[in-house]
């Protein structure tokens, strides 16, 4: 078992989000200067802007990248599990900016008093280019249709298999969260 797999199990990402954890680590760097280090606590302020994500990509392969919060609105009461913060499909090679953005990036926004939330990045290697035309495209100012998402069901629907790489951080409320909520509709 890889370090990624054991830490995903230790923090209950398996079984809360996935049945099988990825074995490789995603490298995630935020414009604020912080990077994601498995299970490290970051603040909503530090992760408010879209990060750069790097992995051992093959230039001839397509990938799907997701960021989900299984702890919405709280870990004790995850009635909106999973809330998806970012979803990009048909990434050819390693440039997420050239992929098909299905849901624009939204940073962490754990409600006040709900404790630490897990924010899980997952990368899937696609068998081929996918037809995502029926998937609603969500903008960065929209909170609609993000709750009660299941990355496992999405992966099953589009035959993505199990994730090949992943990483995660934890975050709790800070004074950026009300600014984030003000930007979101719905």
Q: What letter does residue 142 receive in the DSSP assignment?
A: B
Of 57-61, 67-71, 102-106, the poorest mean pLDDT is in 57-61
**pLDDT mean across residues, the chain:** 95
Least Cα distance to 30 among 45, 47, 44, 13 occurs for 47
State mean pLDDT over 70-88.
95
Mean of pLDDT values over 21-34: 97
Q: Residue 143's pLDDT is what?
A: 87
CA distances from residue 178 to 109, 143, 160 in whole angstroms, order as listed: 8, 14, 35
Tens of pLDDT, residues 147-156: 999 999 999 9
Tell me the average pLDDT across 122-137. 96
- The whole-angstrom separation of Cα 36 and Cα 30 is 8
Asked if 97 contacts 50 with a C-beta cutoff of 8 angstroms, the reply is: no
Residue 119's pLDDT is 98
Say if residue 2's pLDDT is above 90. no
- The whole-model pTM stands at 0.96
| Domains (range + CATH), the chain | 3-183 (3.90.280.10)
Share of the chain above pLDDT 90, in %: 92
Using the predicted structure, report yes or no on whether residue 144 has a pLDDT greater than 90.
no
Average pLDDT score over residue span 131-144: 92
Handedness of CA 129, 133, 136, 137 (dihedral sign): positive
pLDDT for 185 equals 64
């Amino acid at each position: 078992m890889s370090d990624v797999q054991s830490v995903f199990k230790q923090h209950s990402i398996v079984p809360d989000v996935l049945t099988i954890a990825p074995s490789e680590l995603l490298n995630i760097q935020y414009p604020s200067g912080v990077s994601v280090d498995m299970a490290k606590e970051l603040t909503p302020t530090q992760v408010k802007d879209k990060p750069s994500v790097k992995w051992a990509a093959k230039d001839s392969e397509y990938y799907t990248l997701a960021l989900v919060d299984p702890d919405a609105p709280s870990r004790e009461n995850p009635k909106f599990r999973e809330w998806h913060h970012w979803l990009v499909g048909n990434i050819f090679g390693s440039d997420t900016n050239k992929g098909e953005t299905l849901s624009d990036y939204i940073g962490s926004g754990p409600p006040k008093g709900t404790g630490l939330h897990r924010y899980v990045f997952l990368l899937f290697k696609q068998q081929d280019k996918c037809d995502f035309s029926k998937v609603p495209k969500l903008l960065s100012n929209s909170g609609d249709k993000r709750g009660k998402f299941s990355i496992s069901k999405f992966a099953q629907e589009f035959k993505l298999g199990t994730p090949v790489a992943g990483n995660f951080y934890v975050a709790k409320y800070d004074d950026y969260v009300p600014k984030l909520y003000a930007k979101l509709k719905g």
